Amino acid sequence: MTSVGLLVPLIAKPSQTKAITDFLHTGYTLVPSEPLTREWFAVRYEDSNPPTYAIFDTFAAEEGRQAHLTGQIAKALMDNASSLLDVSPEIAQLDVLVSLVRPSKGSGEGTTAGVTKGLRVLFTAKPDKVDAVRDFLKSAIPLVEAEPETTYWYAVEFPGTNTFGVVDFFPDDTGRGAHVAGKVAAALFGSADELLTGAPDLVKLDVIAAKV
């Protein structure tokens, strides 16, 4: 079971977008050297200004997360941060409340684990609605399972912040569109006034590389 993870946004210098894409492809080749890293995704935020990328990865336990934070990928990122990034990366640690991982046939081929598009949705619960938001996310799995084009789906919580999120991935833009128009998204956005401090922040993602 996946229980913890990291979300690391990377704000690139405008002149370094190709270099950071190359760096993320190199990071993909290093993932096998970290056997406790369960799933690893490198993405680009669509239509972002300044250009923003991110790494999202998951682990079965804290031991794996700490091994990753002291491993080759993290070291390479810190060594290259000043030349590639506009600001130092902020490493957000998160708990994975529930996840759905169902690689499609042929997902082991190529370098993106069978997905090309994704979403990163962040939202903050009202102080008296934290438990309700957590329960809502945990109960959403049957709705996600009914979406055949939702390949990977993670509901996450950033401890101590009242902030939650959903990170999910799809084979193509059609699958992503079906999810946005589906029951999980409708339930979340429909409950925003009751449960959340504001509208969810949704960012579309292009998948650069992924290892599952």
- CA–CA gap between residue 86 and residue 19 (Å, rounded): 13
Q: Determine the distance from the C-alpha atom of residue 113 to the mean position of all C-alpha atoms in its chain, rounded to a whole number.
A: 14
Q: For every residue of 75-99, which 3-state class applies, written as one string? A: HHHHHHHHHHECCCCCCEEEEEEEE
State the pLDDT at residue 8.
Answer: 97
3-class secondary-structure state, position 159: coil
DSSP code of residue 197: S
115: three-class secondary structure by DSSP: coil
Determine the 3-state secondary structure of 18 from DSSP.
helix
Band (pLDDT 50/70/90 cuts) for residue 106 is: low
User: Per-residue pLDDT for 108 more than 90?
Assistant: no
Q: How far, in Å, are 8, 9, 72, 204, 208 from residue 26 at the CA level?
A: 16, 17, 11, 23, 11
Ranges of each domain in the chain: 4-211
Considering only CA atoms, which of 91, 93, 96, 92 is closest in space to residue 152?
96
What pLDDT is attached to residue 113? Answer: 95
pLDDT of residue 104: 73
pLDDT in tens, 168-207: 999 999 999 999 999 999 999 999 999 999 999 999 999 9
Which pLDDT value is given to residue 110? 85
Residue appearing with tokens 């290259």: 80
Report pLDDT digits (tens) over 34-82. Answer: 999 999 999 999 999 999 999 999 999 999 999 999 999 999 999 999 9
- The pLDDT-based confidence of 103 (bands split at 50, 70, 90) is confident
Cα dihedral 96→124→201→41 (10° resolution): -20
> Is residue 87 left, alpha or beta, with left meaning phi > 0 and alpha meaning psi from -120 to 50?
beta
Instruction: Give tens-digit pLDDT for 166-176.
Output: 999 999 999 99
pLDDT-wise least confident of 15-29, 40-54, 85-99, 103-117: 103-117
CATH top-level class of 4-211: alpha beta
Three-class DSSP category at 57: strand
SS (H, E, C) 27-51: HHHHHHHCCCEEEEEEEEECCCCCC
For the segment 99-103, the average pLDDT, to the nearest whole number, is 93
pLDDT digits (tens, 9 = 90+) for 109-164: 789 999 999 999 999 999 999 999 999 999 999 999 999 999 999 999 999 999 99
